[in-house]
């Protein structure tokens, strides 16, 4: 069992858990993920490593409530335990000295971006970060991202904080500017990553995205997480989750993410009914 050492509610529907998992903490690297299961009958879900502390033997994950499992997860408190916390899985994000790297984080995507930006900076890169959210009340970890960036631009879709608009607008301006951008890393909702990749493509700047298809085992056995990259079928869990955003078949990814919408809806209704909730 993996004990929850700390729970923080970052914004109303996004929570942080620090989990006691010494073996994972020893090996975790930026960009890797875990397969989490609440109890023995629970669904397996992938969550990215947001932080880790080898000395303490802890690993931090940040998750957004979207469906049954993430809502069930949000009912847990410090002191509760998870049945499974398997990882670190997937390939770590490629980190070397590229020059100037622009890290774009959308919504809950800021959690995986922070350790990546920190690692990039420690390798001598200049890091310019863009943090976007729909609204001010959904923004979190602004200070954490600022502390690992040379420059931070914040946007909200509704203009309630920072610059009004989407993350792609300052990204395009940076690419058009005098400073050469050597690489872009974009993590967030698929649609945001798709449009970041579309923005950088005409400039020929390599753009790494972290794909989030539906996963089951996370170890290359079920084929559930397959995506098409450069016309070749890849398994996100073992070949990724990072891929070249210019080569991803985004329409296929977005369509596959919707495969089980009906079942996900029914599962949530059933769980809410069992909990005595009414929607
Ligand atoms: C490698 C990887 C790392 C991830 N890391 C994180 C993380 O650090 N924090 C976090 O909050 N989420 C992360 N996700 C997404 C997370 O796994 C899903 O949100 C979760 O599995 C949804 O489970 P559910 O039962 O709550 O919702 P479901 O009932 O399965 O789905 C509810 C809604 O969420 C959508 N959804 C389902 N799965 C995904 C997905 N993979 N990506 C986007 N939308 C999805 C569905 O289309 C549906 O609209 C990651 C996904 C992958 C593949
Ligand atoms: S999640 Fe099963 S092969 Fe990737």
In the structure encoding, which two tokens stand for residue 212, read together? 């989030």
pLDDT band of residue 264 (cuts 50, 70, 90) is: confident
Q: Is residue 222 within 6 Å of ligand 2 at its C-beta?
A: yes
Q: Please give the distance, rounded to the nearest whole angstrom, from the Cα atom of residue 214 to the centre of ligand 2.
A: 8
Q: Is residue 217 within 6 Å of ligand 2 at its C-beta?
A: yes
Ligand nearest to C-alpha 211 = 1
Q: Please give the distance, rounded to the nearest whole angstrom, from the Cα atom of residue 213 to the centre of ligand 2.
A: 9
- How far from 155 is each of 144, 167, 201, CA to CA, in Å? 16, 6, 22
Query: Of the given ranges (79-88, 228-237, 255-264), which has the lowest mean pLDDT?
Result: 255-264
Place of tokens 């002191």: 79
Where does the chain show beta strands of DSSP type E?
A: 2-11, 14-20, 33-37, 45-48, 51-53, 58-64, 81-82, 84-89, 100-106, 126-133, 151-156, 163-164, 183-187, 207-210, 226-229, 232-235, 242-244
Q: Which residues neighbour 103 within 8 Å (Cβ) at sequence distance 6 or greater? A: 113, 116, 117, 120, 127, 128, 129, 130, 145, 149, 184, 185, 186, 187
In the structure encoding, which two tokens stand for residue 130, read together? 């863009």
Torsion angles phi and psi, residue 198, rounded to 5: -65, -35
Task: Enter the DSSP assignment of 150.
Answer: S
Ligand nearest to C-alpha 225 = 2
Looking at the predicted structure, is the pLDDT value of residue 278 above 60?
no
Taking residue 104's Cβ as centre, other Cβ atoms within 10 Å add up to 31
Mean pLDDT over residues 229-242, rounded? 96
Looking at the predicted structure, is the pLDDT value of residue 210 above 90?
yes
Which atom, in ligand 1's list, is nearest to the CA of 45? 21
> What is the pLDDT, as a whole number, of residue 10?
96
Predicted TM-score (pTM) of the model is: 0.93
Which atom, in ligand 2's list, is nearest to the CA of 225? 4
Q: Which residues neighbour 128 within 8 Å (Cβ) at sequence distance 6 or greater? A: 100, 101, 102, 103, 149, 150, 151, 152, 153, 174, 181
Mean pLDDT over residues 12-36, rounded? 96
Could you give the maximum distance between any two Cα atoms of the chain, in Å?
58
Residue ranges lining ligand 1, Cβ < 6 Å = 33, 43, 45-48, 61-64, 66-70, 108, 111-112, 212-215, 241, 257-258, 261, 264, 267
Looking at the predicted structure, is the pLDDT value of residue 11 above 70?
yes
Q: Is residue 237 within 6 Å of ligand 2 at its C-beta?
A: yes
Question: Among 230, 81, 122, 100, which Cα is nearest to 178's?
Answer: 100
Nearest-CA residue for ligand 1 atom 17 is 46
Residues 211, 3 contacting (CB under 8 angstroms):
no
Looking at the predicted structure, is the pLDDT value of residue 256 above 90?
no
Which atom, in ligand 1's list, is nearest to the CA of 218? 1
Q: What percent of the chain has pLDDT over 70?
A: 99
Q: Please give the distance, rounded to the nearest whole angstrom, from the Cα atom of residue 267 to the centre of ligand 1.
A: 14
């Amino acid at each position: 069992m993996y004990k929850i050492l700390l729970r923080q509610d970052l914004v109303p529907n996004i929570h942080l858990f620090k989990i006691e998992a010494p073996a994972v903490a020893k090996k975790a690297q930026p960009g890797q993920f875990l397969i989490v299961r609440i109890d023995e009958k629970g669904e397996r879900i992938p969550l990215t490593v947001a932080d880790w502390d080898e000395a303490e033997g802890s690993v931090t994950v940040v998750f957004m409530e979207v469906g049954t499992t993430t809502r069930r997860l949000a009912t847990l408190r410090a002191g509760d335990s998870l049945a499974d916390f398997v990882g670190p899985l997937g390939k770590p994000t490629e980190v070397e000295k590229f020059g100037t790297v622009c890290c774009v984080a959308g919504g809950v995507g800021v959690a995986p971006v922070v350790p990546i930006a920190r690692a990039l900076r420690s390798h001598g890169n200049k890091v310019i970060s863009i943090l976007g959210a729909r609204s001010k009340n959904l923004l979190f970890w602004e200070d954490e991202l600022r502390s690992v960036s040379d420059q931070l631009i914040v946007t909200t879709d509704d203009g309630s904080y920072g610059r009004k608009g989407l993350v792609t607008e300052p990204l395009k301006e940076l690419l058009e500017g005098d400073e050469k951008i050597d690489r872009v890393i974009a993590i967030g909702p698929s649609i945001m990553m798709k449009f970041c990749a579309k923005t950088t493509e005409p400039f020929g700047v390599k753009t790494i995205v972290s794909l989030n298809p539906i996963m089951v085992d996370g170890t290359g056995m079920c084929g559930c997480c397959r995506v098409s990259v450069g016309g070749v079928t890849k398994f996100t869990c073992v070949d990724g989750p990072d891929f070249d955003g210019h080569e991803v078949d985004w329409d296929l990814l977005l369509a596959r993410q919707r495969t089980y919408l009906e079942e996900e809806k029914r599962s949530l209704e059933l769980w809410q009914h069992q909990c005595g909730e009414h929607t």
